[in-house]
């Protein structure tokens, strides 16, 4: 029996549509390397391109398929990983690339990262410390891939028009002439902001003196944007004229904006901290992940951070404005590196960061303390500071202004309180008491100035 031509045509069309549908639903080829990273897309693109080229050259033309998991910034990424490992022994991710050392240390302490043994030609060029700051884990469970420092980003043209000096020290941000001209990123949201505030504290002789300097800077702030990158944008558009910034955010903005902006690496109080890379527990592609770590820490990988795009050994399209961690790069690439970058082995000088104190204060203290003292009491702080400046800063009231709650009055009390902050219930009780303490203090100062003859 012959088939009806119309029926045959419909059957063929249906078969073709079904085949097309199956092709359209075909699963993506699995990745050879899965990474989670708070790095920007420029960094991801340049390292992916360069590693794929290196891998093809080293392994008989074998290509590598990347999968980048973007779950947010450093703090969000770390919380995501802890949540994943709270459910099992793998996250389905190979590498955590970027973010600050405190987060990688935390993951290491929770058993999330895995030791990697590197070849001698790499380890010989990795400094154990710079300015007292450890650049890799002693057991190889994380390694600094690049280093960063904190400084002051400022709007040079607008400051000059106002006949104000360009800020060169942290104290310059506390200068009364800078009232309402400074921006301070919200430390309860930004890890890099907390790290910058710790640099300010450690530029002083002790914790109370460091806090006094930091509170004066908060008092000069016009506002407290949520993220460090938001603050950089505020300086660029003239919303504020200065603020703390991480070096590569500042350099990237200066490159985009021009010489209206400037950046100060504060001499003598500059710590160079690592942005690590870590192999994660239960990594689905451990061998490929180890190859990527070795590439990032190789001479070829390190040059991507610091050379201009299009130069031999440099990135293809994007200038990354990052400081390499390897010692030899500062010699082999001397005179070729992107103009703003500095030699950390010279710039760090005699400053030695107290890493133990910094770790506690950055991870537990600066965020809630800034929130209680400055963000939740923003208007009261501004009124108290204006009143003090109008009264020529009387000594007794200035002492009152910089005073701390009893549980933060000195380093010993601070460390005990920091332990309690790890408990959510205790944290809520303590920070609520801080908020009331600062509110009452600022209101008292305003009242005292107003009743003075």
SS (H, E, C) 405-446: CHHHCCHHHHHHHHHHCCCHHHHHHHHHHHHHHHHHHHHHHH
Full-model pTM: 0.82
Any idea what the Cα angle at residue 17 is, between residues 14 and 19, rounded to 5°?
A: 110
Closest CA to 66 of 86, 84, 41, 89: 41
| pLDDT computed for residue 316 by the predictor | 97
Q: What pLDDT, on the 0 to 100 scale, is given for residue 229?
A: 84
Q: Are 144 and 296 in contact (CB under 8 A)?
A: no
Cα gap 290→213, rounded to integer Å: 44
Question: Does residue 305 contact residue 146 with C-beta atoms inside 8 Å?
Answer: yes
| Phi and psi, residue 136, nearest 5° | -155, 155
pLDDT at 24: 47
pLDDT of residue 72: 85
Whether residue 81 contacts residue 280, with contact meaning beta carbons closer than 8 Å, is answered with yes
- 150-269+353-451 — its CATH code? 3.40.190.10
Asked if residues 235 and 181 have their Cβ atoms less than 8 Å apart, the reply is no
| pLDDT of the residue at 271 | 84
Residue 396, CB half-sphere, CA atoms under 13 Å: how many?
5
Predicted confidence at residue 174, as pLDDT, reads 97
Span 33-148+273-342 CATH architecture: 3-Layer(aba) Sandwich (3.40)
Confirm if 245 and 231 have CB atoms less than 8 A apart. yes
Those residues whose C-beta lies under 8 Å from the C-beta of residue 218, and which sit 6 or more positions away, are: 184, 370, 373, 374, 381
- Contact between residue 371 and residue 428 where contact means Cβ atoms under 8 Å apart: no
pLDDT at position 257: 87
Q: How many CB atoms lie within 10 A of CB 86?
A: 8
Please say whether the beta carbons of 219 and 385 come within 8 A. Answer: yes
pLDDT score of 228: 82
Q: Where are the beta strands (DSSP E) in 316-438?
A: 323-324
Whether 33-148+273-342 and 150-269+353-451 share one fold: the answer is yes
Owner of token pair 């690339």? 97
Residue 256 CB coordination number (10 Å): 9
User: What pLDDT score does 11 carry?
Assistant: 46
Residue 352: the pLDDT is: 82
Q: Is 258 left (phi over 0), alpha (psi -120 to 50) or beta?
A: left
Q: What does the pLDDT read at residue 227?
A: 81
Contact 251, 263 (CB under 8 A): yes
CA dist 217 and 172 (Å) reads 9
Please give the Cα distance from 185 to 183 (Å, whole number). Answer: 7
Radius of gyration of the chain (CA): 26
Instruction: Domain ranges for the chain, please list them.
Output: 33-148+273-342, 150-269+353-451
The candidate with the shortest Cα–Cα distance to 99, out of 191, 199, 233, is 191
Looking at residue 349, its pLDDT comes to: 64
Place of tokens 């010989």: 124
What's the confidence (pLDDT) of residue 346?
80
Burial classification of residue 9, based on how many CB atoms lie within 10 Å of its CB (0-12 exposed, 13-18 middle, 19 or more buried): exposed
Mean pLDDT, 10 residues at a time, the chain of 453 residues:
46 46 57 94 97 97 96 88 96 95 93 97 95 92 95 97 96 97 92 89 94 98 90 95 94 90 86 94 98 98 98 96 96 94 79 85 93 97 98 96 96 94 94 98 97 85
């Amino acid at each position: 029996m012959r088939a009806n031509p119309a029926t045959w045509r419909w059957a063929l069309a249906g078969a073709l549509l079904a085949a097309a549908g199956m092709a359209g639903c075909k699963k993506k080829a699995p990745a050879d390397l899965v990474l989670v990273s708070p790095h920007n897309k420029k960094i991801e693109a340049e390292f992916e391109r360069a590693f794929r080229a290196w891998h093809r050259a080293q392994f008989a033309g074998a290509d590598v398929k990347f999968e980048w998991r973007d779950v947010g910034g450093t703090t969000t990424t770390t919380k995501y990983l802890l949540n994943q490992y709270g459910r099992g022994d793998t996250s389905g991710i190979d590498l955590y690339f970027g973010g600050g050392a405190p987060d990688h240390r935390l993951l290491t302490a929770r058993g999330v990262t895995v030791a990697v043994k590197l070849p001698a030609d790499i380890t010989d060029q990795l400094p154990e410390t710079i300015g007292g700051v450890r650049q890799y884990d002693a057991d190889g469970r994380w390694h600094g891939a690049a280093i960063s420092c904190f400084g002051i980003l400022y709007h040079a043209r607008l400051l000059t028009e106002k006949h104000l000096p360009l800020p060169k020290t942290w104290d310059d941000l506390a200068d009364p002439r800078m009232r309402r001209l400074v921006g301070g990123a919200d430390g309860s949201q930004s890890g890099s902001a907390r790290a910058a505030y710790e640099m300010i504290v450690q530029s002083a002789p002790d914790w109370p003196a460091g806090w006094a300097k930091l509170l004066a800077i908060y008092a000069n702030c016009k506002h407290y944007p949520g993220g460090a990158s938001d603050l950089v944008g505020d300086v660029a558009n003239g919303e504020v004229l200065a603020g703390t910034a991480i070096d590569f955010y500042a350099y990237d903005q200066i490159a985009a904006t021009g010489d209206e902006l400037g950046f100060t690496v504060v001499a003598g109080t500059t710590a160079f901290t690592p942005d690590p890379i870590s192999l994660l527990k239960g990594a689905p592609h451990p061998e490929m992940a180890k190859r990527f770590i070795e590439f990032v820490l190789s001479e070829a990988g390190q040059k991507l951070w610091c050379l201009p795009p299009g130069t031999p050994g440099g990135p293809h399209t994007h200038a990354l404005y990052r400081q390499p961690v390897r010692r030899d790069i500062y010699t082999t690439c001397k005179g070729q590196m992107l103009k703003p970058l500095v030699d950390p082995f010279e710039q760090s000088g005699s400053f030695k960061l107290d890493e133990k104190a910094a770790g506690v204060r950055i991870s537990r203290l600066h965020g809630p303390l800034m929130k209680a003292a400055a963000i939740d009491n923003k208007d009261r702080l501004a009124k108290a500071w204006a009143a003090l400046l109008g009264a020529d800063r009387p000594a007794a009231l200035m002492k009152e202004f910089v005073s701390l709650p009893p549980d933060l009055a000195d380093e010993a009390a601070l460390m005990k309180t920091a332990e309690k902050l790890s408990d959510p219930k205790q944290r809520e009780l303590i920070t609520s008491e801080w908020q009331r303490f600062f509110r009452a203090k600022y209101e008292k100062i305003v009242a005292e100035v107003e009743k003075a003859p």
